[in-house]
Amino acid sequence: MSKQTHYTLREAEALAEYKNDQKKLDGKISLDGLKVKPLYTAEDLTSCEHLENLPGQAPYTRGTKATMYTGRPWTIRQYAGFSTAEESNAFFKKALTGGQKGLSVAFDLATHRGYDSDHPRVSGDVGKAGVAIDCVDDMKRLFADIPLDKMSVSMTMNGAVLPILASFIIAGEEQGVPSEALSGTIQNDILKEFMVRNTYIYPPEPSMRIVSDIIAYTASNMPKFNSISISGYHMQEAGASLVQELAFTLADGLEYVKAAQNRGLNVDQFAPRLSFFFAIGMNFFAETAKLRAARSLWADWMKRLFNPSNPKSLMLRTHCQTSGASLTEQDPYNNIVRTTIEAMAATLGGTQSLHTNSFDEAIALPTDFSAKIARNTQLILQYETGITDIIDPLAGSYYVENLTSQLIANANDLIQEIMDMGGMTHAVQEGFPKREIEKIATKKQALIDSGQQVIVGVNKYQSSENAEIDVRIIDNTAVREAQIERLKKVKSSRNNEAVSLALSKLKEAAISGEGNLLDLSCVAMRARATVGEVSDALSEIFTRHRGTTEVVRNIYTEAYNNDAQLKPIYDAIEQFKTEASISPRLYLAKLGQDGHDRGAKIIASAFADFGYDIIAGDLFETPEEAAETGISNNVHVIGVSSLAAGHKTLIPELINTLKEKGAEDILVICGGVIPAQDYDFLYKAGVAKIFGPGTAVTDAALETTHAVIENNRRTHNSRNARLASKDV
């Protein structure tokens, strides 16, 4: 393309004035690692070779299809699942009636982690953050009266991916729909779990075998089904920059392609059915550019490493979801605006399907009312804005094209760094992506808490009125009891010899490396094995993975940039140290099967910078285990981070366990996604402090330290007596 530009005299004078007066702003680097300046001109298109290609042409920067939305709009999806299969089924049917075109299933954390609902480790998790699925019969109830040969189904599942996908296949089979007619996507993106979301079961290497077996099975038996959805969504939600989200996601994808090739598959057998999943946050133009850059990067790396014959193997197709991390508890109706902005960025960037979050999801699971607004947001974009009338509407924008080029260049550098490590599996084992994401996440939080990054209604323009909204309430105990009864019936009516034989063959294949694990899981689930039984059988061979917890240091306070605001915290900590002769000690606990640890990691990092002794706990602890850890480390306070709605079950259990062990002098605080209507319950249970979404870390630190000082004065003698008896 021509780089020659002609200006009128007035334009030239204006440009010269800009260059003289605004030079100090040139080269400002955003937190996403992008160089941003206040004015862009045609000169900023000098490195935008991608503009030479039309939509539908490799490297697909401008879109995967020549017609894009003018031929068919993006698919409207609603990610949903809660409580029982029956309730989720009713929600699905209502959404489909309201204009939704595809189903996206959220499973509860017990299911994600491969536990049946009757397992003692999941007492607070069953049915809370998704639907409970223990066997094929649950899956059949989930899709009752929903024709699986006509409906595209996306399932966010990674840890227990084998029994869940097998259950879906058998549910279709028993509905009269053969596997070759099933359409949809299974996430099956396990590398991301080791970085951010943590709903893994097995270590990385056997997990990669499972991924490749699923790719192989679907390539042979399920031509309409996407065998993997390579996800950057949870990376951005955990705090990753846009460059990190791009690079780590695409590097994951390249690793999966390599694993499938190592299993003997030709790249063109499966690559056209790979799909991606990105988060869309509030950096409007950069998010649009990110999707364009992702398509270009994927085509380039696939051609460079694998040289496929089918041009569709170079094509990056993606689902997007608006950000959950951008939603706020404060002024929650502002979230409708945020979601609309993010949805526009996704569609202008050329997503193939989209989920829009509900405005109340910073507080609880969406209600029917909030889900309808989220769904209508997409319908309005499709029918009332003109977005579907034009292909790649922001093409040629000086700013967007420059951002696209920057993202391509910066992500390329990071992908190459990962390749130099030996690929993403090696990088994950070394903890590189996890550590780098946590650094950015901690810095972002410091910028928000210090007011350098404005969040309307949270750290600026706060409202004096508290909007009261209805939230969805799940009776965890009732759901679990119902699931346990169903499990008993299934186990009493099945052929247990057939189940034992199927599980034995599954274990033999895990040991030998021969056979396809999804094929064998289908045999087991057809015989009415449970999700937990299949997961346990494989755990005997592969073991259960235990992640390591690291705390990044000197990131929060360096980014905060306001020592005057931090001084009260330092003073309070010094006061405690003077009175107690030791530093305050905080144990950060993650109870139940909730692996979302961004909040806990940020608190750990910031409090450590302030002067606390920090013990960062292992994931997936029971209240009993957390109490033991706190007591054995002589902590003054246990902080519980909750994002999966298990707080009303698990936190009271923790407090009661501390009392039973004579350690009621240890304070318990909690934070995360906790509805205000639950505060009284938790305070009555003995919680000292509750920090909801949007709480500044500095406020949490100061309030916690004051509480620890008062508690130390009040319980000094009893604490010393407990520690003395422990020493004896």
Concatenating the DSSP letter of every residue in 544-591 gives ----------SSHHHHH--HHHHHHHHHHHHHHHHHHSS--EEEEE-B
Q: Buried b vs exposed e over 436-452: b needs ≥16 C-beta within 10 Å?
A: bbbbbbbbbbbbbbbee
Output the CA torsion sign for 165, 169, 170, 171. positive
pLDDT at 289 over 60: yes
Beta strands in 52-147 (DSSP E): 75-80, 102-105
Closest CA relative to residue 136, chosen from 114, 158, 165: 165
**How far does CA 96 lie from the centroid of its chain?**
25
Q: In this predicted structure, what is the pLDDT of residue 447?
A: 93
How many C-beta neighbours within 10 Å does residue 683 have?
A: 12
Q: How confident is the model at residue 13 (pLDDT cuts 50, 70, 90)?
A: low
In the predicted model, what is the mean pLDDT of residues 685-714? 94
Yes or no: say if 111 and 156 are a contact pair by the CB < 8 Å rule.
no
pLDDT band at 694 (very low <50, low <70, confident <90, very high): confident
Which residue, among 384, 189, 355, has the nearest Cα to 275 in the 3D structure? 189
Per-residue model confidence as pLDDT tens digits over 554-592: 999 999 877 888 999 999 999 999 999 999 999 999 998
Q: What is the pLDDT of residue 2?
A: 39
Can you tell me the distance from the alpha carbon of 279 to that of 661, in angstroms, rounded to the nearest whole number?
Answer: 44
Amino acid 4: pLDDT? 46
Does the pLDDT of residue 697 top 90, yes or no?
A: yes
Q: What are phi and psi of 648, to 5 degrees?
A: -75, -20
- The pLDDT tens digits for 343-383 are 999 999 999 999 999 998 888 778 889 989 999 999 999 99
pLDDT tens digits along 399-414? 999 999 999 999 999 9
Bridge-based pairing of strands 35-36 and 28-29 is: antiparallel
Handedness of CA 148, 154, 158, 160 (dihedral sign): negative
- How many angstroms from the chain centroid is the CA of residue 642? 14
pLDDT at 82 over 70: no
pLDDT digits (tens, 9 = 90+) for 225-250: 999 999 999 999 999 999 999 999 99
User: Stretch 146-171: mean pLDDT, rounded?
Assistant: 94
Mean pLDDT, residues 310-320? 96
Rounded to 10 degrees, the C-alpha dihedral 328/331/333/338 comes to -50
CA separation (Å) from 95 to 80, 86, 91, 569, 587? 10, 14, 6, 48, 42
Do residues 708 and 667 make contact, with C-beta atoms less than 8 angstroms apart? yes
Backbone angle region of 27, left / alpha / beta, with phi > 0 → left and psi within -120 to 50 → alpha: left
Task: Just list the catalytic residues.
Answer: 79, 233-234, 590, 594, 596
Which tokens go with 48? Answer: 């935008």
Please say if the pLDDT value at position 6 is more than 60.
no
Across 109-128, average pLDDT: 93
What is the CB-side half-sphere exposure of residue 433 using CA atoms within 13 A?
37
